[in-house]
Amino acid sequence: MLNPNEPIQRRALQRQLHTFVVYAEDKPGVLSRITSLFRRRAYNIGSMTAGHTDVPGVSRLTVVLESDDAEARLIEANLYKLVNVLKVEDLTHVPAMKRDLALIKVKANAEARPQVMQMIEVFRARIIDVAPESLVLEITGTGDKIDGLLEILSPFGIIEMVRTGGVAMTRGSKATTVHPHFVHALVPQDENS
């Protein structure tokens, strides 16, 4: 349910990128359960990353997808129905940092190289491999920033590129924001704090 005091109609209809952080038990098949849920309910995942956390046995996923607020609450509710999911945060309306990482292999012969290096500097990317005819760059930043670098590099010729998809974290010292419907949601570390 949406908070009755909020102007639900306007916000609910607005589609935007929602970023969810999902804590799940680190068990075989959990990723498949989560992707299967998105497939079955016809939610279109923009990106999804998964990795360990500081708590043994707990993994953390960042899922980015386009939805409106009403659908976002349903996505959250459905994620909670997965028995292995511990906690879900929707970071869309809270101050949060979002980062993507990309490796880019770009053509850069002796002639083009100085120009490429200049761009790299502006975007604070790093060179991690050098070959006679190409460079491999590493860049972290928001999705927009990476898009920007790619656009500028494309005239030189991008040979290969890989992006991790977004990861995200709230700002400030508080760790989480949990929807009031799901107040029981906890990861083991919460109980101690």
Smallest gap, in angstroms, from Cβ of residue 68 to another protein? 11
Q: Report d(CA 102, CA 151) in Å as an integer.
A: 13
> What residues are paired with 137 via a beta bridge?
104, 127
Phi, psi of 101 (to 5 degrees): -125, 140
Closer CB to another protein, 111 or 191, in the complex: 191
Q: Which is nearer to another protein, 57 or 155 (CB)?
A: 57
Q: Smallest distance, Å, CB 78 to another protein?
A: 5
Which of 65/116 has CB closer to another protein? 65
C-beta neighbour count of 184 within 10 angstroms: 8
Nearer to another protein, 41 or 93 (CB): 41
- Least CB distance to another protein at residue 13 (A): 11
Which residues have C-beta within 8 Å of that of residue 19, sequence separation ≥ 6?
A: 62, 63, 64, 90, 91, 92, 96, 98, 166, 168
- For residues 124 and 138, the answer to whether their CB atoms sit within 8 Å is no
| Shortest Å distance, C-beta 96 to another protein | 23
Concatenate the DSSP letters of all residues of 66-129 into one string: EE-HHHHHHHHHHHHHSTTEEEEEE-TTS-EEEEEEEEEEEE--TTTHHHHHHHHHHTT-EEEE
Q: Which is nearer to another protein, 12 or 117 (CB)?
A: 12
Positions touching another protein (CB under 8 A) are 1-2, 4, 12, 24-25, 28-29, 32-33, 36, 40, 70, 73-74, 77-78, 80-87, 180-188
What's the min distance (Å) between Cβ of 43 and another protein? 12
